[in-house]
Amino acid sequence: MRDFSRPKVVVSRCLEFDHCRYNGDMISSHVVAKLKEYVDFLPVCAEVEIGLGVPRKPVRIVLDRGEHRLVQPSSGKDVTEDMKTFCTLFLDSIGDVDGFILKFRSPSCGFKDVKVYSSAEGRGSVGKTSGYFGGAVLERYPLLPTEDEGRLRNVRIKEHFLTKLFTFAAFRKVKSEGSIKDLISFHRENKLLLMAYSQAELRKLGGIAANREGTPFEQLASEYEEHLYKALSSAPRYTSNINVLMHALGYFSDQLSSREKALFLDWVQKYREGKASLCPAINTIRSWIVRFDDDYLMHQTFFEPYPEDLMELNPIESHLREDLWK
């Protein structure tokens, strides 16, 4: 099991932290609750911070003369400028962070699919946008992992989010506390992960880590960070994952029987056809890593990009769900 740096994550305070929704509720999120053991959270409620209180009448985004405004229909209060000021001051104050988990479709925290209304009293929405705080986050940190609790219920979105989150946290530690030697170790341990995400960026990152021009560490780390963010900007394609699996197989091919290889390739084919997850093929490789004591692959983050305890089976497929035969 790997040792993981603790990511620093800004989270909407109503998600598992406080009863601060407009109606006094707290929103449950299994993902946020599970992450508390592994993440340093910084909870915030933008609406409370600008003085709207709990409970409070809801706010909404309205289209006023071609401009979005944040208003409270019950009072007619326009809190747009207060919210913009808070967003700027808060994001200026938080220092280095690794990601954000925001409230789904909130007019303040939502980062996408937030309803825009024609007026304070109008019933039907006329469009969608990001909330004020969520939009400020995207503008300030366009490449950091940012999600909401609704989207994180999707397994693939969650996996990509967690992979980015823990990778960026590990690099932040290298950048703030490390040396060129630590940067080289980071690159070496993430080679297969980067191969799955972007071979083009992997080559660029390899050239940066090699540091043939003797660039000072601080400048080198900033350049590496820029391309690391680009490399992980989109989730890997399934064909890229297969490419990494086949690359890993090459380390053991001469030591395996034809039946062992056939079983592994069968799992790869099932994954290709959408009949199995990536896990059986990965676990087969991991068993060979232990069996043949391969130190290089043992430290590859591709096989455990985030804490194993966060890798969860769909409850519908688990034997731990309710007894269906009662």
Task: Quick: pLDDT tens for 137-164.
Answer: 999 999 999 999 999 999 999 999 999 9
Structure tokens given for 244 = 């990494």
Residue 60: closest CA among 42, 75, 49:
75
- The rounded percent of the chain whose pLDDT value lies above 90 is 92
What is the SS3 assignment for 116?
strand
Summarised one tens digit per residue, pLDDT across range 270-322 is 999 999 999 999 999 999 999 999 999 999 999 999 999 998 766 555 666 66
Do the bridges between strand 114-117 and strand 40-44 make them parallel or antiparallel, or are there none, so unpaired?
Answer: unpaired
Q: How far apart are CA 326 and CA 321, in angstroms?
A: 12
At residue 1, the pLDDT reads 67
Give the pLDDT confidence of 20-59 residue by residue, as tens digits.
Answer: 999 999 999 999 999 999 999 999 999 999 999 999 999 9
- Burial annotation 60-96 (CB, 10 A radius, 16+ → b, else e): bbbbeeeebbbbbbeeeebbbebbbebbeebbeeeee
230 contacts: CB under 8 Å, gap ≥ 6: 143, 198, 201
Which DSSP string do the residues of 208-234 spell out, in sequence order?
A: HHHTTT---HHHHHHHHHHHHHHHTSS
Q: Compute and round to an integer the Cα radius of gyration of the chain.
A: 23
Out of 83-97, 116-130, 304-318, give the one with best mean pLDDT: 83-97
* Predicted confidence (pLDDT) per residue in 164-181, tens digit: 999 999 999 999 998 999
Burial class for 315, CB neighbours closer than 10 Å (0-12, 13-18, 19+): exposed
Which pLDDT tens digit goes with each residue over 57-76? Answer: 999 999 998 999 999 999 99
Closest CA to 164 of 96, 226, 235: 235
The ranges assigned to domains in the chain are 8-153, 154-326
Instruction: Give the chain's mean pLDDT.
Output: 95
